[in-house]
Amino acid sequence: MISFNTLNLFLVDLLSFLPDKLVFTISGLIMSVAICTFLIGLGSVYTWFERRVIARFQNRSGPNRWGPFGILQPIADAVKLLIKEDIIPATADKMVFIAAPIIFLCTTLLVYAFLPLGIDSQLGNINVALLFVLGITSVNALSVFMAGWASRNKYATLGAIRAVAMLISYEVPMAISLMGIVMVSQSLSLVGIVNAQSNIPFIILQPLGAITFMIAAIAEMSRAPFDMIESESELIGGYITEYAGMKFAVFQLSEFLAPIFTASLFTVLFLGGSNPLKFLEFLPIPGILWFASKSFVITAILLWFRSTWPRLRIDQIMGFAWKVLMPAAILNTLLVGLELVFIRDNYILQIIINMLIFVVFIYLIANILGQKRLKLKEPVPSELANMDA
Partner 1 sequence: MYGLGLIKGLGITLKNILFLQRRNTTQYPDRKASIIDLAKLDNKNFISYAFTNPMKTLKSMMGMIVISDKVDQHPRFRGEEFSWYEERCTGCASCAKFCPLGIIKIVTDQTGKNYAEGQNYDIETFDIDIGRCMFCGLCVEACPYDALHMGSGFEEGQYKRNDLVIDVERLKKAEKKPSTWFRPQLEQKDDYSPFDEEIAWDKVGRHQKPSKKDLKNKWIRK
Partner 2 sequence: MSLNSELVTINFGPQHPSMHGVFRLRVTLDGETIVDLEPVFGYLHRGTEKLAEERTYVQIVTLTDRLDYVASMSNNLAYVSAVEKLCNIEVPKRASYIRVIVAELQRIASHLMATGFLLNDLGAFGTPLMYCFREREKILDLFEILCGARITLSYMRPGGIFQDTPQEFWDDLELFLESMPNQIDELESLITGNEIVLSRTRDVGILTPEQVIDASLSGPMLRASSVKWDLRKANPYEIYDEIDFDVPIGATGDTFDRYLIRIKEMRESLKIITQCINLIKPGPVRNEDVPLIIRAPEGEAYVGIEGPKGELGFYLVSDGGISPYRCKIRAPSFINLTLLKEMTAGGKIGDLIVNFGSIDIVLGEVDR
Interface with partner 2, residue 341, by CB under 8 A? no
Residue 19 is a binding residue for partner 2 (CB under 8 A): no
Q: Are 157 and 149 spatial neighbours (Cβ–Cβ below 8 Å)?
A: yes
The contact mask relative to partner 2 for 153-192 (x = CB under 8 A, - = no) is -xx--x--xx------------------------------
Told to check if 369 binds partner 1 by CB under 8 A, we report yes
Chosen residue from 83, 90, 280, 384 binding partner 2 by CB under 8 A? 384
Asked if 348 is part of the footprint of partner 2 (rule: CB under 8 A), the reply reads: no
Compose the 48-87 pattern: x for residues touching partner 1 by CB under 8 A, - for all others. Answer: -----x--xxxxxx--xx-xxxx-----------------
User: Is the omega angle on the peptide bond into residue 225 within 30 degrees of 0, that is, cis?
Assistant: yes
380 sits near partner 2 (criterion: CB under 8 A): yes
Closest CA to 77 of 53, 50, 101: 50
Exposure string over 123-143, b if 16+ CB within 10 A, otherwise e: beeeeebbebbbebbbebbbb
Residue by residue, DSSP assigns 31-91 as HHHHHHHHHHHHHHHHHHHHHHHHHHHTT---S-SSSGGGTTHHHHHHHHHHTS-----TT
Task: Choose among 239, 242, 236, 249: nearest CA to 83.
Answer: 249
Cα gap 256→199, rounded to integer Å: 32
Q: Apex CA 387: angle with CA 385 and CA 389, to 5°?
A: 85
Residue 45 in the binding site for partner 1 (CB under 8 A): no
In whole angstroms, how close is the CB of 86 to partner 1 at the nearest point? Answer: 32
| Binding of partner 1 by 316 (CB under 8 A) | no
Residues in the chain: 389
Q: Does 218 bind partner 2 (CB under 8 A)?
A: no
For partner 2, the closer CB: 269 or 302 = 302
Task: For residue 287, count CB atoms less than 10 angstroms from its CB and return exposed for 0-12, middle for 13-18, buried for 19 or more.
Answer: buried
Q: What is the closest distance, in whole angstroms, from the C-beta atom of residue 359 to partner 1 in the complex?
A: 12
DSSP-derived secondary structure letter, 126? -
Our finding on whether 234 is near partner 2 (CB under 8 A) is yes
367 counts as binding partner 1 under rule CB under 8 A: yes
Question: Which listed residue (305, 311, 347, 353) binds partner 1 by CB under 8 A?
Answer: 305
CB of 355 to partner 2, least distance (A): 23
What are the residues binding partner 2 (CB under 8 A)?
54, 57-60, 154-155, 158, 161-162, 224-225, 227, 231-236, 306-316, 369-370, 373-374, 376-382, 384-388
